Structure 1
């Protein structure tokens, strides 16, 4: 059973030369999300409707489902910015464009 998305965001994935991912990513890609003024980092699953593959340097609208972030969800708002990272470091940034009601 797929969990419902918490928000949609425009995410800019950095080019490989600037610390971004090396290989294309697809739906289900998980990364860490760091929000301003929040000390905790949250893992999130990303869902890409179109295109199916995202390449380094792409900017795309993404549906995000945060994992184990129930206490933080009420703090999300449209226009909130964030950074995403993986084991190699920060791989992109984004801005929330829509928050889904809970």
Structure 2
């Protein structure tokens, strides 16, 4: 697995009762990522760690690569929560465990 991702996060996919996905998500999936401090979203490729598929309701660790990382320079930190979105629907939530792209790291 390549090491050119922006951060590692724990992801929780919503169940259908919560308004989430009907079926599993495959590693490499590219939903939109939204942080509370930004109105914009960015596509974020999710490569699951030690799993190929994740079913609704499951938690998984994933390596995330943002399509537009320049919008998030000096803004991300360990513990920061975010949503991932498919169309207009929030399909899950995440929390950053480790920042790998140093230009994105916020000094706190």
Q: 1:3 offset after TM fit, Å?
A: 7.7
Q: TM-score, normalised by structure 2?
A: 0.85
What residue ranges of structure 1 are gaps of 5+ in the alignment?
Answer: none
2:23 pairs with 1:23: yes
Residues 1-102 of structure 1 mapped to structure 2, 5 A cutoff: 4-87=4-87, 89-102=89-102
Assess, with a 3 A threshold, how the Cα gap between structure 1 residues 88 and 75 changes in structure 2: closer, same or farther: closer
Gaps of 5+ in 2: 103-108
Aligned residues: 101
Q: Structure 2 CA distance, aligned partners of 1:93 and 1:84?
A: 6
| Residues 97 and 13 (structure 1), Cα distance of their counterparts in 2 relative to 1, 3 Å cut | same
The TM-score with structure 1 as length reference comes to 0.90
Q: CA 1:82–1:46 in 2, change beyond 3 Å: closer, same or farther?
A: same
